[in-house]
Chain A
Amino acid sequence: MIRVERRIEVNNSWVIIMYLSACIVGFLLTSLLLWLSGADISKAFYALYKGSMSNQKTILNSLSKATPLILTGLATVVAFRAQVWSIGQEGQVYSGAMSAYMASLMFYGLPVWIYLSLIITFGALGGALLGALSAVLKNRFNVNEIISTVMLNYIIIFFLSYMVGGGPWTGVGDQALIYSQSNPVDDTAKLPFLFDSKKLHFGFVLAIVSVLVCHVLINHTPFGYEIRAMGHNSVALKYRGTNTKKTLLYLMILSGAIAGLAGVSEIFGTNHSLRGDTLVGLGFTGIIVGMIGGLTPIGTLVAGVVFGGLASGSVYMKIIAKVPGTLVPTMEGIFLLTFLIAGVASHYKIVGFKRDV
């Protein structure tokens, strides 16, 4: 009889085998989906490759698409490592974008570098504020963080929808009215482009710096230790004398601030006007990125770049293989589930032909 047994120690090569299988199963399921939809499977995957990393232009495009995903993925890592199931990244992206936009109106005319720094800082603050709100709701009123973050996501989206769709930030002209967007931001407020690419911008630098900071913070500082310990055993942490409520508050502020940066990066780096629909789904995809990255900053960077590539390649896939671009979020969801199962399965071993006496 074949039985499965829980492992006492995790075996590295077994873990690798499990995650590789997860990748293979993920690709098989995606292919199945493509086959069911009547598309040419090899053509679709070729188009995905072609549109994501075939030349310098597409690579830069992939990295530019990866930028917000790395940031929201990191925001997920910070919260989920402590087993705080915040899914407020979506809303924090919005609030970050909004408060950065507010800063861009308030500080217009200041010297460029001070102006840009203020915009970025306000973006981080906007996200942090929303994160802090969920932490306070949890600490003071025992409101489940999943519920509060979901509800705040909806509330903030309606808020943005009002601000640019009839409210004070609504842009002038027909186009602004149709798409519910603000006036374009001033040229001095745009994040500078890297490598003269007109695609990849300073937001990517912010993302890389955030990855490094989070890596050091989580693995090599007392605060990072508290985050990790909270995920394993928050009761023990309390007995050690740690104020876990404070830890929760700080980690939610950090998580929110990073997600807020994603909003700044999208609005001031890519889109150049405040508009809700370009921000949709960045936070939710970030959750998948963080999870598939194994809830580590470096893993998230890798997963974020892969997902950025998928997002960039999906445009080609739509044109060349006539596959709807929405295949990509589906693929991401499929990979998330296979990775989740692999994560649990890597803690088990198969015991063959063993009989209970």
Chain B
Amino acid sequence: MSELFQEAVIISILAGTFRVMTPILFAAIGELVTQRAGIWNMGVEGTMIMGAFTSYMVATTTGSLYLAVLAGIFSGMIMGLITAFMIATVRVDHFITGLGLNLLVGGLTLFWFRLYTGGGYAPTFTSLGNFPIPILSSIPIIGDIFFKQKLLTYVAFLSVPAVWYFLYRTRWGLEIRCLGENPKALDIKGLNVVLRQYVAILIGSSFTGLGGAFLMLAFSDRFQPDLTAGKGWLAIVAIIAGKWLPKGVFIAVLVFAFLGSVAVHVQILDIDIPYQIFLALPYLASIILLIGLRKRISQPAKLGVPYFR
């Protein structure tokens, strides 16, 4: 156990925290917008796998990681369109839609993956490189922890204030928040409810697709089934635990990411405790977090309620 408390290991765990944080934060901060619009998108996990898989396909066929990231976002938007069609247009139950999409994507990505590899070895790609920020990265310890991350990790940090600004300081943000509390008010004003639901879902899904792409491109060199391993679900828990506020969501994601990073290091360091215990920690933590938050005053009033005129 004492191996965990050496300086180099601690720095590595903290730096790893931000790496693990990035995909979950993208998904959580994007889905926050969706949920503030009153939509429980339970398909986060599936959207993330889709983003990861498409970015894998593009990365291995074109060799361009930029295109791969774009493809991740794009496939997220496609998933968002299907979700929005089911939820906002057809008005299928929000939970069922998300579950259905998760199951569909689980099968679909595997099917394509098997076709793509044709029973042989899966092609690989070169992972995203680090992007040390000049000057700042040469600060001892702090530079190692914060400023030698991948470019998208900095983007993830910036997305928190950006989403905050969008939700609280723009007209569209106000309308989306209103959608989650009282969609009728928008409808009475003659504003298009369905359009705004589409926008909110698409914002969330494209962020989630980006998260999936990062997960794929930054952590490994080939696709594997169940790559996301529940990170999409952790994003949903982070939103609840963060009381539907950008800052809270950010902190909750950090907690999960820290536990995740510890789990990774325990596996590498070969400590006597079964590594499965550490792998299970983020999931255990999420249940404990939710137990502590039994009152849900801050939940958008119309979250998960289909809107009928």
Contacts and interface: CB of A to CB of B under 8 A. Distances in A.
Interface of A: 33, 37, 85, 87, 137, 141-144, 146-148, 150-152, 154-155, 158-159, 161-162, 165-167, 284-285, 287-288, 291, 324-334, 336-337, 340-341, 343-345
B290 interface: yes
B104 A330 contact: yes
Interface in B73-121: 86, 90-92, 95-97, 99-101, 103-108, 110-115
Contact of B103 (A143, A332, A345): A332
B233 interface: yes
20 contacts: A33-B111, A37-B111, A142-B295, A151-B237, A152-B283, A152-B287, A154-B283, A166-B274, A167-B274, A324-B110, A326-B111, A327-B107, A333-B100, A333-B103, A333-B106, A337-B86, A340-B86, A343-B92, A344-B92, A345-B90
Interface in B283-309: 283-284, 286-287, 290-291, 294-296
Contacts of B295: 142
A341 B229 CA distance: 28
A148 B274 contact: no
Secondary structure of the B contact surface, majority rule: helix
Nearest to B296: A142
Given A37-B112, A143-B291, 6 more contacts: A150-B233, A151-B286, A158-B277, A162-B276, A326-B111, A336-B103
B37 interface: no
B248 interface: no
A143 B104 contact: no
Given A85-B99, A337-B86, A337-B101, A148 B107 contact: no
B280 A329 contact: no
A152 B279 CA distance: 13
Contacts, number: 129
A331 B108 CA distance: 8
Contacts of B112: 37
Interface of B: 42, 86, 90-92, 95-97, 99-101, 103-108, 110-115, 229-230, 233, 236-237, 240, 274, 276-277, 279-280, 283-284, 286-287, 290-291, 294-296
B230 A150 contact: yes
Contact of B276 (A152, A159, A340, A345): A159
A255 to B, nearest CB: 15
Given A155-B280, A326-B107, A326-B114, A340 B96 contact: yes
A267 to B, nearest CB: 20
A131 to B, nearest CB: 15
Nearest to A167: B274
Given A85-B99, A337-B100, A144 B115 contact: no
A148 B287 contact: yes
Contact of A341 (B92, B233, B277, B294): B92
Nearest to A87: B99
A139 to B, nearest CB: 11
A276 to B, nearest CB: 11
